[in-house]
Amino acid sequence: MTNIFRSPMVRNAGKLLSANVIAQAIGILVYPLLTRMYAPEDFALLSLFTSIAGVLVLVATAEYQYAIVLPKSDEHARALAHVCVLLLLAMTALICLSLPFAAPIAAMFKAPALATYWWMMPLSVLGLGLWNILNYWYIRRRAFTRASGYQITQSVFSASGKIGLGALGWLQGGMIAATVFAPLLSLLINGALAWRKYLSELLHPCRCDMRFVAREYANFPKFNLPRALVNSVGLALPVWLLTPHFGLAEVGQLSLAMMAAFVPLNIIARACYQVLYQRVAELVQRRQSIARVLWRFSLWMAVAFLIGLTAVYIFVPQLVTFIFGAEWLEAADIIRALYPYIVLTPICGSVCFLSDVFAKQKTALWMETGYVAALALALLVGIHTNDFIRTVALFAWVRCAYLAAQLLWYVALSRNYNRTLS
């Protein structure tokens, strides 16, 4: 155990995981203050803005940032970083061209307030895109402390900005402004600290042709980008479809419910994912069985979360009222409607690496695409009923069915692998 904890890999993973947990915890801890400053409409407007930015930033770098860690030579890695920056600047320029059309874009979602803050969209995409590029450059250079520092400072700036702007009375766009400018400020500080040791070399001209590295790693925009887009659209779809019909107030309640339910679960799932991924990948490399590891983990997770989440289900109205305030009581009903989705999330999120271990990304993409189509249909059916909670319940059951199908597929993959060992 001493040798394991002294290994650079474990220490580096620990830095990133600890920074992620701290950053997420800061975001969660300020929510009881934010829910007493901002209205549900403000949370919904933030969710709408960030969901659009999340999709645009994927296109902005075409997923080339993941390839930065792969080339043997730093020159090719720098060329990939330059490709990412050029694509990001082009996308930022295109978004700037959309600024005169902010009102029609906002009208699509029946959220006129979005037009007021659309000018921040290019800044948001630029900041998020630059961090995606620098993050993988840091990973290549093993600068894990810098990557961890960004996560924590960004979360601190975002949380303090939301509280400060809310206290000053900027209640509609305060959270959007804090969310947009916190990454930019953190990038400036992080870049100044890392400039001499890690970042100045990125300005060196590349002798190799950027078109060459773009073709060499073309599989990232060809295959990774579609899957990432499908996944991102699937996450954004409830906000995009429900906002025009039910309004910002209802979607704001949904946004808080999703945060309260899934952020803690995703932190746990991410930690389990990292540990299990390394262990299962190691067993597969050694041609050893993975059934015992996965079975024991799934059993303990199922028992622990069924007991814990059932207790939360019973007392969720009292918990929501106490933590967030009485005006957010509807979020408790939404959390209960999401219960089928909530139960399977930590287990499925912890073992979703199996499609990568067994090189089944193409099948995973088709499954994700089918899920998004089914989700869109379920949301439209729910909208037709004009019942918000029923619509959320339909969304939860479709997501639950998809996660259950994923788990059955993962079981089949592990069984097929174990059969090859006999």
What average pLDDT does range 121-126 have in this prediction?
96
DSSP 8-state code for residue 206:
P
Q: How many of the other CB atoms lie within 10 Å of CB of 304? A: 12
What average pLDDT does range 47-60 have in this prediction?
94
Residue 2 pLDDT grade (very low, low, confident, very high; cuts 50, 70, 90): low
> Would you say 289 and 77 are in contact if contact means Cβ atoms under 8 Å apart?
no
Most confident stretch, 108-122, 303-317, 334-348:
108-122
More confident residue, 227 or 99: 99
Q: Where are the alpha helices (DSSP H) in 247-360?
A: 248-285, 291-324, 330-337, 339-351, 354-357
Q: Residue 289 corresponds to which amino acid?
A: S
More confident residue, 288 or 104: 104
Query: Is residue 5 predicted with pLDDT exceeding 50?
Result: no
What average pLDDT does range 170-199 have in this prediction?
87
Q: What is the pLDDT of residue 278?
A: 64
Give dist(CA 341, CA 277) in Å, integer: 23
More confident residue, 204 or 160: 160
Give dist(CA 411, CA 295) in Å, integer: 9
64-78 residue pLDDT tens: 888 887 787 788 888
> Would you say 142 and 10 are in contact if contact means Cβ atoms under 8 Å apart?
no
Tell me the average pLDDT of the chain: 85
Q: Where are the alpha helices (DSSP H) in 64-140?
A: 74-97, 102-108, 113-117, 121-140
Phi, psi for 360 (deg, rounded to 5): -115, 35
Could you tell me if residue 169 is left (phi over 0), alpha (psi between -120 and 50 degrees) or otherwise beta? Answer: left
223-257 residue pLDDT tens: 778 888 998 998 899 999 999 999 999 999 999 99
The secondary structure of 146-197 as a DSSP string is HHHHHHHHHHHHHHHHHHHHHHTT-TTTHHHHHHHHHHHHHHHHHHHHHIII
Q: Provide, rounded to the nearest whole percent, the portion of the chain with pLDDT above 90.
A: 42
DSSP 8-state code for residue 205:
P
Q: What is the pLDDT of residue 201?
A: 76
106-120, 181-195, 261-275, 371-385: lowest mean pLDDT where? 261-275
> Would you say 228 and 63 are in contact if contact means Cβ atoms under 8 Å apart?
yes
Query: Is residue 20 predicted with pLDDT exceeding 50?
Result: yes
Q: What is the pLDDT of residue 4?
A: 45
> Would you say 66 and 220 are in contact if contact means Cβ atoms under 8 Å apart?
yes
Cα 218–Cα 220–Cα 225 angle in degrees, nearest 5: 125
Q: Residue 152 corresponds to which amino acid?
A: I
Give dist(CA 107, CA 212) in Å, integer: 42
Query: Is residue 81 predicted with pLDDT exceeding 80?
Result: yes
Q: What is the pLDDT of residue 120?
A: 96
What average pLDDT does range 167-175 have in this prediction?
84
Q: What is the pLDDT of residue 294?
A: 82
What average pLDDT does range 272-296 have in this prediction?
77
What average pLDDT does range 376-388 have in this prediction?
94
More confident residue, 41 or 356: 41
Q: Provide, rounded to the nearest whole percent, the portion of the chain with pLDDT above 70.
A: 93
Orientation angle between helical segments 40-61 and 74-97, nearest 10 degrees? 130
